Chain A
Amino acid sequence: MKVIEVTTATFENEVLKSDKPVLVDFNADWCGPCQMLKPTIEQLAEERDDIKIVSVNIDENDDLAYDYDVSSIPCLVIFKDGKEAKRSVGLKPKSEIIKLF
């Protein structure tokens, strides 16, 4: 699967109502560590069918960042059954991101 770009308009359907657990990657174009993390996130999306992986641009969707208390990026949040299950802030190696699932 590919990483799905999610906005305020599609967040509820794609994330909160998802059957599968969702990994949300909050990021921005100006954020270097976010760019560093991107290939890992894309790789995970290709490898894992059991999880949906989505990306939220916080500049274009600042209300989502506000609603979910994201104040440092990159920020990865796992949603299960519409609720936040786990969170990881900052650039992390793949081995640590897998532990979030």
Chain B
Amino acid sequence: MYDIIIIGAGPAGLTAAIYARRASKTVLVLEALSYGGQIINTPDIENYPAAMHISGYDFATKVYEQAQELGAEFVFEKAVGIKDNGDTKEVITDDNTYTAKAVIIATGSENRKLGVENEDKLVGRGISYCATCDGAFYRGKKVAVVGGGNTALEDALYLADLAETVYLIHRRDAFRGDEATVNALKERDNVKFIYNSNVTKLIAEKRLTAIEVTDKNTQEVTTIELNGLFVAVGRIPENQNFAQLIKLDDSGYVSAGEDCITNVPGIYAAGDNRTKSVRQLVTAAADGAVAATEAVRFVQEH
């Protein structure tokens, strides 16, 4: 039995592992894919204190090595459920069951899909969820970005420097994201705004060649020829496997405050999968520290 099991090896989970090990607790980190989480897609981190110009991959590798050096154990299995036995908890993975006194859920979130036919088939053949990862393939080409939040706006601005034309498609008549970014986009000649519209069809042969966009108000359908479609319509927290036990909010995030305490004593939530207003690298790390400290206290008291 471990003192603390951490589900997810992104910045929140890895930071929790560091704090829990420094409090001399035994720690198992379970990760479905590979350490680092979403941050590994970021080419250059510029907003984390003291880490100027470091790639997301290098950052994640350093935190992973730090947690390992401090003695955290890592197992690469997907957690599919948690069973609460009061003073102990069981975490069930695809292959095994592990027991601990406390559990920290730090599973993060995944890209929300458009939900248009053939979307999955065209990923990597014209459909992308990461402008900074795949933008380089669209130098001098025509692309569209779907979404209205900061990610969509920043993606459009990033792509405006590379692509010939960037269509920014939003289902409302105003953007939710930063006004400064909207204004910067409006100054670009190669950015075209399409409001009140949804992408309703993907047209492809071997790869994506065009999309159909439907105006919500007039129902008018327009075909836009393009090479790439960047989907930035938000993220979905990966909490579905724990929903029976853990209270989630309407959007699927774990209902837990800044103390990271969930409705189940001894189970904590840290990082992007928790209800919060700012989802950044630094707030994920902060959550990890808070959740681990609370978990350590729980272990000591039980």
Contacts and interface: CB of A to CB of B under 8 A. Distances in A.
In this complex, the interface size class of chain B, counting residues with CB under 8 Å from chain A, is 20 to 34
Contacts of B124: 70-72, 75, 87, 89-90
Contacts, number: 62
Contact of B34 (A36, A70, A75, A87): A36
Interface stretch (B35-43, B66-74, B241-249): B35-43
A35 B128 contact: no
B137 A71 contact: yes
Interface string B119-163: 000011110101001101110000000000000000000000000
B32 A33 contact: no
A93 B138 CA distance: 28
In this complex, the interface size class of chain A, counting residues with CB under 8 Å from chain B, is 20 to 34
Q: In this complex, which of A71, A73, A89, A90 has the most chain B Cβ atoms within 10 angstroms of its Cβ? A: A71
A33 B134 contact: no
Contacts of B60: 32
A32 B57 contact: yes
Given A75-B124, A90-B124, A31 B133 contact: yes
B206 interface: yes
A91 interface: yes
Contact of A32 (B56, B123, B128, B138): B56
Going nearest first, the 4 A-B pairs with the smallest beta carbon separation are A89-B124, A32-B57, A72-B124, A32-B40
25 contacts: A30-B43, A32-B36, A32-B42, A32-B55, A33-B133, A35-B40, A36-B34, A69-B206, A69-B207, A70-B124, A71-B128, A71-B134, A71-B137, A71-B138, A71-B228, A72-B123, A72-B133, A72-B134, A73-B134, A89-B123, A90-B123, A90-B124, A91-B34, A91-B40, A92-B33
